[in-house]
Amino acid sequence: GENVEQHPSTLSVQEGDSAVIKCTYSDSASNYFPWYKQELGKRPQLIIDIRSNVGEKKDQRIAVTLNKTAKHFSLHITETQPEDSAVYFCAAAMNSGYSTLTFGKGTMLLVSP
């Protein structure tokens, strides 16, 4: 089955800095890659996703890049703010819709004022 590795496990940055979280996947058939954000004590929520036919996707301060050849994808957060502090999970699925997500172990991002 699919295996998703996520790094780093913790990331501390100063407010205003950029943060990058990286994930690798094992199954070349995977073609859908979402990112979920989980604030302390809250439920995970989808923040951005990318499909294998796209190399990059942006939404305001967050962006995701995908390298299909290397089987890795990354989350980029620019101009970090304290409210970006959370655990971020990457995931992969073979087909969007009627398939299951395999999640990475998560990255705890701490943004200091």
List residues near other proteins by CB under 8 A: 1, 6, 9, 32, 34, 36, 42-46, 49, 89, 96-98, 100-106
**Based on CB atoms, which residue is closest to other proteins, 62 or 104?**
104
Question: In the chain, where do the E strands start and end?
Answer: 4-7, 10-14, 19-25, 32-38, 45-51, 56-59, 62-67, 72-77, 86-92, 102-103, 107-112
**Based on CB atoms, which residue is closest to other proteins, 9 or 81?**
9
Residues 73 and 20: their CA atoms lie apart, in Å, by 10
Please state, as a whole number, how many other Cβ atoms lie within 10 Å of the Cβ of residue 60: 9
Residues 109 and 56: their CA atoms lie apart, in Å, by 22
**Based on CB atoms, which residue is closest to other proteins, 6 or 74?**
6
**Based on CB atoms, which residue is closest to other proteins, 44 or 78?**
44
Question: Which DSSP letter does residue 26 get?
Answer: S
Closest separation in Å from C-beta 84 to other proteins: 19
Closest separation in Å from C-beta 12 to other proteins: 17
Closest separation in Å from C-beta 94 to other proteins: 12
Closest separation in Å from C-beta 100 to other proteins: 6
